[in-house]
């Protein structure tokens, strides 16, 4: 049962690391795609547009195939993040990239929360609450590391790709 708890913490750490890194790179992505404030606001809406149906479908996938789907979802999120960093060069490509990001993020979110719920159910511990704490901690870590990387002029694609190594 400890394996599920550790897997939950690791999944939430990876998810937090992603969102912290991504958030710190928003100015670079906006600049790379040459977007106005209004365009960037619209582009960001595509994350939610992609996430909502993905959450519904991934819930069904987890119910059908189990929580091992969480690892696949997180890997898809990491790959999508790299694609976003590499392809967002105008309004259309940024919108499509954010839609894909929303799909990967929404699916990952449901999968890792299902994993935490199962771990909590099997251990009787407070896994969900602690997992969300781990997520928040790694958002901060990801933001700090990405900010430091950008301060030495590493490009966004390199910063996005680094956690994959």
Residue listed under structure tokens 């928040």: 136
Angle (deg, nearest 10), helices 127-151 and 2-24: 30
Residue 161's pLDDT band (boundaries 50, 70, 90)? confident
Write down the pLDDT at residue 84: 73
Q: What is the pTM of this model?
A: 0.88
Compute φ and ψ for 115, nearest 5 degrees: -60, -45
- Composition of the chain by helix, strand, coil, percent to 5: 90, 0, 10
Shortest CA distance to 44 belongs to which of 104, 106, 102, 110? Answer: 102
Contact predicate 94/29, CB 8 Å: yes
Domains in the chain, CATH or no CATH each: 2-164 (1.20.1250.20)
What pLDDT shows up at residue 1? 58
Q: What tens digit of pLDDT does each residue of 87-117 get? A: 789 999 999 989 988 988 998 899 999 999 9
CA pair distance 6, 8, nearest whole angstrom: 5
C-alpha–C-alpha distance, residues 75 and 20, integer Å: 16
């Amino acid at each position: 049962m400890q394996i599920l708890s550790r897997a939950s913490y690791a999944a939430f750490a990876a998810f937090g690391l992603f969102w912290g890194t991504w958030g710190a790179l928003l100015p670079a992505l906006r600049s790379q795609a040459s977007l106005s404030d209004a365009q960037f606001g619209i582009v960001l809406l595509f994350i939610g547009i992609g996430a909502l149906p993905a959450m519904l479908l991934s819930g069904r996938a987890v119910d059908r195939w189990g929580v091992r789907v969480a690892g696949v979802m997180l890997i898809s999120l990491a790959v999508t993040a790299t694609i976003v960093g590499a392809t967002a060069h105008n309004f259309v490509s940024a919108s499509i990239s954010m839609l894909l990001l929303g799909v990967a993020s929404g699916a990952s979110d449901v999968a890792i929360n299902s994993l935490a719920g199962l771990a909590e159910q099997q251990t009787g511990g407070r896994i969900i609450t602690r997992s969300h704490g781990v997520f928040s901690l790694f958002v901060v870590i990801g933001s700090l590391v990405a900010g430091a990387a950008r301060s030495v002029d590493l490009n966004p694609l390199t910063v996005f790709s680094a956690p994959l190594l």
